Structure 1
């Protein structure tokens, strides 16, 4: 087992003391290159009972970010991030507009989870929320690059294709901002990744448009 990132040396001790919480990441958090905050540990994981989709965000709903909705027969792959319980209010603030739910342990598979029981949360959209396809919202190519590179890095090409096939709302516009990223945590792509990512998105019905 190869860790995504080195654990904080006190992770096990803090978890045993009940001072650790965790949240399930299913978008840009899967790419270690986008991580800018201090955390205690991060693991590959699967959560059963949710489906990932592109959620229109903002007052005009012009842009879309990834979210999940409860779907009993579905599942999402991603990561579980371990953090200090004291930091949870800050995470809630960052995820404003989402509902934080606790994931039941029998709905989770976590690679090399800490021995102590740690509550895991997931941030989901409101039930019945429209996806990007329904409202014609756009996806930033620079954001999609970071997400797709993360899934490829953690789960290989098969995992990347699973991400694309199991995410609803791809049938919309993607803003070509790769040369001048509008996403605040852009990543450098490896050989062939740009062509692969674009090809997979187009196969799901995405349409590339020029940015402003």
Structure 2
């Protein structure tokens, strides 16, 4: 099997900045898998798998009534995504993007990184805040524009099989889906390639999502 192409060229400054202790890394399992949504100038990005975690849909906060992806520990599961290597100075911006989530270090033994460029760098993951309910119970809706960005990222990284794995192994798709593709509410929405809208909709419909139109 031919090796997968790199996601993005590494910064030529990566090694020097790491030696200076100015590099951090974090595991992306939702919109972060799509480099088009990243707003900081990251240093490197790699495909990765984290064992012992389950991905699921949960409300962002009670006022927003919108569901975003999160994770919780699950010994029998694993999640695919990316590890992003970034400047330590950018970490507060990432924390702000992931408001309502707890940042913690992944056990290195549970993490597999494709062609890891920096051995020994701790990798963070953003976990759902304790006590959060699932999206279906809270009556929250998944933003189609957000889901499009996530699914496009997984398809680009892992192909159609990886995209299907993401949909099949993420809990909570049996909830409402707000069709906002024509007028995106997600601030980092992405344009879709030909055929992607139909593919994404067919996979999500098969999981039992209940579509509602944008009002």
Shorter-chain-normalised TM-score: which range?
over 0.9
Shift of 1:198: 0.7
Paired residue secondary structure (1:117): coil
Shift of 1:73: 1.4
Query: In structure 2, the residue corresponding to 1:168 is in which secondary structure?
Result: coil
1:151 aligns with 2:154: yes
Aligned to 2:21: 18
**SS in structure 2 of the partner of residue 93 of structure 1:** helix
Structure 2 unaligned blocks of 5 or more: none
How far apart, in 2, do the equivalents of 1:21 and 1:83 lie?
A: 5
- For 2:59, which of 56, 59, 70 is the aligned residue? 56
Whole-angstrom CA distance in 1 between matches of 2:55 and 2:13? 32
Match of 1:101 among 93, 100, 104: 104
Pairing 1:189–2:177 present:
no
CA shift at 1:87, angstroms?
2.4
Q: Given that residues 40 and 90 in structure 2 are in contact (C-alpha distance below 8 angstroms), is that contact kept between their aligned partners in structure 1? A: no
Rounded to whole Å, the distance in 1 between the matches of 2:101 and 2:194 is 35
Match of 1:112 in 2: 115
Q: CA RMSD in A?
A: 1.4
The answer on whether the counterparts of 1:69 and 1:127 sit within 8 Å (CA) in structure 2 is no
Give CA deviations for 1:163-192 in whole Å, capped at 9, x if unaligned: 001111100111111111111122121222
SS of the residue 2:41 aligns to: coil
Deviation at residue 48 of structure 1 after TM alignment: 0.9
In 2, the alpha carbon distance for the partners of 1:96 and 1:191 equals 33
Query: For 1:8, which of 2, 7, 11 is the aligned residue?
Result: 11
**Structure 1 residues 74-105: Cα deviation after superposition (integer angstroms, max 9, x where no partner):** 11100001012232233223222111110111
Matched residues in 1 for 2:118 and 2:87: separation?
Answer: 16
TM-score, normalised to structure 1, is 0.95
Asked whether 1:90 is paired with 2:93, we answer: yes
C-alpha distance in 2, partners of 1:147/1:44? Answer: 14
Q: Identify unmatched segments of 5+ residues in structure 1.
A: none
Q: Partner of 1:139 in structure 2?
A: 142
The alpha-carbon deviation at position 31 of structure 1 amounts to: 1.1
Counterpart of 1:70?
73
The 1:12–1:116 alpha-carbon spacing in structure 2 relative to 1, beyond 3 Å, is: farther
Q: Are the aligned partners of 1:100 and 1:122 in contact in 2 as well (CA < 8 Å)? A: yes
For 2:84, the equivalent position in structure 1 comes to: 81
Task: Give the secondary-structure state (helix, strand or coil) at the position aligned to 2:24.
Answer: strand
Which residue number in structure 2 is paired with residue 46 of structure 1?
49
